[in-house]
């Protein structure tokens, strides 16, 4: 069992660590309009166009990473504060990027954060306590779902169940977590709508197990199973079974009213509660060289989704 002292800081560090690892896994979708203008008519135009397009691709990737880091860096009760922090983080990123490109040649770049195009909700329980019988998402797309289990509270005879009900018939999937009584480990049974169940054993660290239910894996990389990214959204997410199992969770959905939970207060709370998040961000990138001016205003979807 995890003690109360320092628990929130420990949990936050673990979840931020999960964010860092997920950066290299999660995909992204962008929609943008770009204008490329020949400013000099030289043979270098083709190379500079390629440089501008590569710059734009790099920025989309990095802004997505940056936004996830900010989203999960604290509990945001206020969208204005979230926007302010994103503006600051993007400005710092733009400054460093501009200095890097200027050092390699006569190129000027800029990245501006234009705002939250589509808001999302971060449903969070950030202290270890009973997970309870609840439906944290009733009808939304889920792009982030991290679950931390205190494995000392798991039962061998009754599982803690997470059911993800998809938009289409035959899209349901249930994750059942139970203690592996005969030896160290946790059984993760995944049951699809057809009734077929696959069983995996995951091994906790320090009596805790952190799993990513979008990708279907543990953050110790010792087990893999089917993730909810195979389910067509929107979805509902329900906790049932051994609801005395203790843990924490962090879910990001595009639904701005995903459940009956209260908004998280300023400064955070043990939860469960609803915090602000970014589902789609809008940015503008500028790339200027002696021969090409490249400007793109674009929407960046931060989280892939079920």
For residue range 179-237, what is the model confidence (pLDDT) as tens digits? 998 778 999 999 987 888 999 999 999 999 999 999 999 987 789 999 998 888 899 99
pLDDT of residue 54: 83
**Is residue 51 predicted with pLDDT exceeding 70?**
no
Per DSSP (E only), the strands in the chain are 29-38, 108-130, 137-140, 142-150, 160-165, 173-179, 186-192, 197-202, 208-212, 217-218, 235-241, 246-253, 273-288, 292-301
- Mind listing the pLDDT tens digit for each residue in 162-180? 999 988 767 899 999 999 9
Give the lowest-confidence range in 28-32, 66-70, 98-102, 282-286: 28-32
Residues of the chain with CATH 2.60.120: 120-277
pLDDT of residue 104: 85
CA gyration radius for the chain?
A: 22
> So what CATH class is 120-277?
mainly beta
- Distances from the Cα of 74 to the Cαs of 84, 116, 238, in angstroms? 13, 17, 25
Give the lowest-confidence range in 20-29, 258-267, 294-303: 20-29
How does residue 255 score in pLDDT terms, banded at 50, 70 and 90?
A: very high
**Is residue 39 predicted with pLDDT exceeding 90?**
no
How does residue 282 score in pLDDT terms, banded at 50, 70 and 90?
A: very high
Q: Does 52 or 24 have the greater pLDDT score?
A: 52
Q: Does 16 or 149 have the greater pLDDT score?
A: 149
Model pTM score: 0.82
For the chain, percent of residues with pLDDT exceeding 90: 65
- Mind listing the pLDDT tens digit for each residue in 92-136? 999 999 999 899 888 899 999 999 999 999 999 999 999 999 999
- Distances from the Cα of 8 to the Cαs of 42, 197, 213, 250, in angstroms? 58, 35, 21, 13
- Distances from the Cα of 82 to the Cαs of 77, 91, 207, 268, 290, in angstroms? 8, 14, 34, 13, 37
**Is residue 61 predicted with pLDDT exceeding 70?**
yes
**Is residue 283 predicted with pLDDT exceeding 70?**
yes
pLDDT of residue 48: 52
- Distances from the Cα of 154 to the Cαs of 49, 163, 181, in angstroms? 57, 17, 10
User: What does pLDDT average to over the chain?
Assistant: 84
């Amino acid at each position: 069992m995890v003690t109360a002292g320092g628990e929130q800081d420990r949990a936050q560090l673990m979840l931020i660590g999960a964010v860092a690892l997920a950066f290299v896994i999660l995909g992204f979708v962008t929609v943008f309009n770009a204008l490329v203008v020949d400013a000099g008519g030289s043979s270098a135009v083709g190379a500079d166009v390629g440089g501008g397009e590569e710059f734009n691709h790099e920025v989309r990737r990095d802004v997505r990473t940056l936004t996830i880091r900010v989203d999960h860096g604290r509990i945001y009760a206020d969208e204005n504060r979230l926007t302010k922090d994103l503006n600051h983080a993007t400005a710092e990123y733009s400054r460093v990027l501009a200095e890097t490109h200027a050092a390699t040649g006569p190129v000027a770049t800029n990245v501006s954060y234009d705002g939250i195009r589509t808001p999302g909700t971060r449903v969070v329980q950030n202290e270890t306590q009973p997970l309870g019988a609840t439906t944290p998402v009733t009808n939304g797309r889920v792009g982030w779902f991290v679950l931390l289990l205190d494995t000392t509270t798991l039962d061998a005879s009754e599982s803690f169940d997470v059911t993800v009900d998809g938009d289409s018939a035959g899209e349901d999937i249930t994750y059942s977590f139970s203690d592996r009584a005969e030896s160290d480990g946790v059984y993760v049974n995944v049951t699809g709508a057809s009734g077929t169940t696959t069983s995996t054993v995951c091994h906790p660290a320090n009596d805790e197990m952190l799993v990513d239910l979008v990708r279907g894996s543990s953050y110790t990389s010792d087990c893999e199973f089917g993730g909810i990214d195979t389910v067509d959204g929107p979805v509902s997410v329900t906790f049932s079974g051994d609801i005395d199992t203790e843990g924490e969770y962090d879910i990001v959905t595009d639904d701005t009213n995903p459940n009956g939970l209260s908004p998280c207060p300023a400064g955070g709370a043990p939860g469960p509660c609803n915090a602000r998040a970014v589902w789609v961000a809008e940015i503008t990138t500028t790339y200027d060289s002696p021969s090409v001016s490249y400007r793109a205003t674009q929407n960046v979807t931060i989280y892939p989704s079920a």
